[in-house]
């Protein structure tokens, strides 16, 4: 989905036929810069917004790396919402306008 010091992936799954989506994310620290950042305790920030960048529906900031991966689950997403993911170098930041629409994400395996 996106790449900074880490490589970020996302997919969606639905737990009820009429319910909202769950967005599952994985970030990998595979590059040397990503491995150094993870070793320093730098994590990943993910957020779902609806209607505007300021209307955050669900957000998580994590730094608990396991085997070079970090996972999050964001709930209550609609197909028209937008997802942002990035390394949390300075803590949570403002979403940027080039997020990905949830409806464009692949369904999780």
Residue 19 has a pLDDT of 73
For residue 3, what pLDDT is reported?
78
Res. 97 pLDDT band, cuts 50 70 90: low
pLDDT > 80? residue 102: yes
**How confident is the model over 60-72, as a mean pLDDT?**
92
List the domain boundaries for the chain.
2-104
Cα 5 from Cα 80, distance rounded (Å):
28
What is the torsion angle, in degrees rounded to the nearest 10, for the CA atoms of residue 34, residue 86, residue 99 and residue 30?
20
pLDDT for 90: 67
| CATH 2.60.40 at 2-104, yes or no | yes
Give the closest residue to 25 by CA, choosing from 41, 42, 46, 4: 46
């Amino acid at each position: 989905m996106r790449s900074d010091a880490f490589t970020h992936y996302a997919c969606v799954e639905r737990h009820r036929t009429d319910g909202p989506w769950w967005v599952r994310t994985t970030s990998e620290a595979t590059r040397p810069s990503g491995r150094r950042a993870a070793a320093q305790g730098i994590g990943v920030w993910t957020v779902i917004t609806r209607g505007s960048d300021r209307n955050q529906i669900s957000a998580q900031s994590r730094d608990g790396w396991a085997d070079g991966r970090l996972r999050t689950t964001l709930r209550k997403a609609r197909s028209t919402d937008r997802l942002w993911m990035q390394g949390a170098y300075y803590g949570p930041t403002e979403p940027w306008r080039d997020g990905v629409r949830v409806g464009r994400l692949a369904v999780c395996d």
